[in-house]
A and B are shown apart, each in its own frame.
Chain A
Amino acid sequence: MSSAQTHRTIDAIWRMESAKLIAGLTRMVRDVALAEDLAQDALLIALERWPETGIPDNPGGWLMTTAKRRAIDFMRRNKLRDQKYGEIGRTAPLYTEDDVDQALDGEISDDLLRLIFMTCHPVLSQDARVALTLRLLCGLTTDEIARSFLVAESTVAQRIVRAKRTLSAEKVPFEVPTGEELNQRMAAVLEVIYLMFNEGYSATSGEHWTRPLLCQEALRLGRILAEIAPNEQEVHGLVALMEIQASRLKTRINAKGEPILLMDQNRAKWDQLLIRRGITALERSRKLGRPLGPYSLQAAISACHAEARSAAETDWIRIAALYEALARLSPSPIVELNRAVAISMAFGPAFGLQIVDELNKEPSLKGYHLLPSVRADLLAKLGRYDEARSEFERAASMTRNTRERELLLQRAADCESGTYQ
């Protein structure tokens, strides 16, 4: 194997093992920054030795043993917390690679879970949580994170350094919280993962190149979390939602880079494997026997679309019911607007219009062009073309997207000439 090849292989091994290493080391030293340094040291030693000795049979175990030895040396030198040193000193030198692996097998899942909860702690800002999670749990470099979020690499590096410092200064424990705190923190963890996914998913411009990576990382993290926290219903809900949304990635943009709406997408190109995985995840969420949470409900709505063989076969009554449940659970004007659309598809435009008219009083939707756009469509379907035309024009004046504006103005013109479809 050439040395370049060995380096690429070591890089791949690092991506596979780094989260586990850092999690295991954090349990030992109770400090993510130190744990990351120790893991990186082990990597450097591997980079030196492996090109000569070849890659060991159990590279993860090798890295862990090496990092642990470094940890012990470090503590010996720094006399950092005698008790901690004693703890590790008693057990670590006895480890062989197999032992390390066995020891890790039992605890590693818990360690990863603790690490996710740590990187998503509320003392950190949302941006910091995302950056730290991508770095420590997905093994992305600061450069990759920077490209994904279209910010400077130095910004990301600073954000990560500061985040690690905050965790240490605030003495954030390396543990999975219990009771009510678990629910709140789990919500924060899921939010970070979904934010990552959406950054990758909704980008229709800019750095196209790196964004699918972000979707994939979020999905991978969600899948890992679903395995290490199998009784958390909303984890399965979020995984289901991401799998089903990812199944449409290929069909969301046309050759000109313009977005294609759900109802107009070529369903034959949806990824059936991901749809099936999403529906299985949704089943797991349902099997836990608790009322569905917001992610599970959104996944159920997504599944309705995924299961309809054509747009016309969509079960709008069911979707309207799911939106009803979602609106009760986590009410928001956007959910309400979606509910209005579903209701108009299920029961006719007049019923949808009632909801939309109520939403017109909502101050937070004042600049949201989709509100007049939806209202215009419903008015046109009811034959109220004059009102529809002025609503389309209002929507057109509010959007910042040129192509969308053209489309809305075209619709306004169609209302005037009586050719509205």
Chain B
Amino acid sequence: MRFMMIVKATTDSEARVMPSQELIDAMQKYNEELVKAGVLLAADGLMPSSSAIRISYPEPGAKPKLVDGPFTESKELIAGYTLIEVKSREEAVEWALRMPDPHGSGQGEIELRQVFEVEELMDNPDTLAKEATLRRQVEEQKKA
């Protein structure tokens, strides 16, 4: 299963302040670890929101509205992401915990989200049925 570690923006990353060499080294070492474990699919840093464009649809059916960045509330913005392929949610958490504090300024935050891939179970009715059963069982176990 695939998980995305979403690194949230900070006032520094928004201001384009480069992280310390130490942090860059630590991050690089971490990425190498992911590569060596065969779990890294992709990782990128994003430009600050000053270069972003927001496209919103405030009214149904109407034309979209375009707004240029920068945007405020840096904690809601994204500074980068790392996409990994692992066997379990726990493994994803474990990898995320091993990532260095992404900013080192007390504002670091990583959000871990699973990539949606139910359809990857090959649109096969047998598989989907099995999955439905399994989900029901899991739900029931939770209730019990």
A-to-B contact residues, CB < 8 Å: 8-9, 11-13, 15-16, 109, 208-209, 212-213, 216, 219-224, 227-228, 249-250, 252-257, 273, 277
Residues A8 and B88 in contact, CB atoms below 8 Å apart: yes
**Residue of A216, A224, A255 touching B85 (CB-CB under 8 A):** A216
Residues B123 and A253 in contact, CB atoms below 8 Å apart: yes
Residues B94 and A257 in contact, CB atoms below 8 Å apart: no
Given contacts A11-B90, A12-B94, contact A208 B120 (CB under 8 A): no
Q: How big is chain B's contact interface, by range? A: 20 to 34
Instruction: Tally the A-B contacts, defined by beta carbons under 8 Å.
Output: 72
Query: Once bound together, how far apart are the Cα atoms of A46 and B43, in whole Å?
Result: 32
Residues B122 and A249 in contact, CB atoms below 8 Å apart: yes
CB of B37 within 8 Å of the partner chain? yes
Nearest chain A CB to B14 CB, angstrom units? 28
CB of B130 within 8 Å of the partner chain? yes
Query: Once bound together, how far apart are the Cα atoms of A8 and B37, in whole Å?
Result: 19
Which residues of A lie under 8 Å from residue B124 when comparing CB positions? 208, 253, 255, 257
Residues B127 and A16 in contact, CB atoms below 8 Å apart: no
CB of B39 within 8 Å of the partner chain? yes
Query: Once bound together, how far apart are the Cα atoms of A209 and B94, in whole Å?
Result: 25
Query: Once bound together, how far apart are the Cα atoms of A224 and B36, in whole Å?
Result: 5
**Residue of B41, B90, B127 touching A209 (CB-CB under 8 A):** B127
Which residues of B lie under 8 Å from residue A109 when comparing CB positions? 36
Q: In this complex, what residue of A is CB-closest to B134?
A: A209
Nearest chain A CB to B81 CB, angstrom units? 12
Q: In this complex, what residue of A is CB-closest to B91?
A: A12
Can you pick out 28 interface pairs between chain A and chain B where the beta carbons lie within 8 Å of each other? A8-B88, A11-B88, A12-B88, A12-B91, A12-B93, A15-B88, A15-B91, A109-B36, A208-B122, A208-B130, A209-B127, A209-B130, A212-B121, A216-B85, A220-B37, A220-B39, A220-B85, A227-B35, A227-B36, A227-B38, A250-B119, A253-B122, A255-B125, A256-B125, A257-B125, A257-B126, A273-B41, A273-B83
CB of B143 within 8 Å of the partner chain? no
Query: Once bound together, how far apart are the Cα atoms of A220 and B37, in whole Å?
Result: 8
Query: Once bound together, how far apart are the Cα atoms of A13 and B126, in whole Å?
Result: 32
Residues B37 and A224 in contact, CB atoms below 8 Å apart: yes
Given contacts A12-B87, A254-B123, A257-B125, 15 further A-B contacts (CB under 8 A): A9-B94, A11-B88, A15-B91, A208-B124, A208-B126, A208-B127, A212-B121, A216-B87, A220-B38, A220-B85, A224-B36, A253-B122, A253-B123, A255-B123, A277-B41
Residues A13 and B35 in contact, CB atoms below 8 Å apart: no
Query: Once bound together, how far apart are the Cα atoms of A273 and B35, in whole Å?
Result: 16
Query: Once bound together, how far apart are the Cα atoms of A279 and B38, in whole Å?
Result: 17
| Residue-wise interface mask of B (36-52) relative to A, using a CB-CB cutoff of 8 A (1 in contact, 0 not) | 11110110000000000
Nearest chain A CB to B141 CB, angstrom units? 11
Query: Once bound together, how far apart are the Cα atoms of A153 and B90, in whole Å?
Result: 26
Residues A15 and B126 in contact, CB atoms below 8 Å apart: no
| Residue-wise interface mask of B (57-90) relative to A, using a CB-CB cutoff of 8 A (1 in contact, 0 not) | 0000000000000000000000000010101101
Residues A250 and B122 in contact, CB atoms below 8 Å apart: yes
Which residues of B lie under 8 Å from residue A273 when comparing CB positions? 41-42, 83
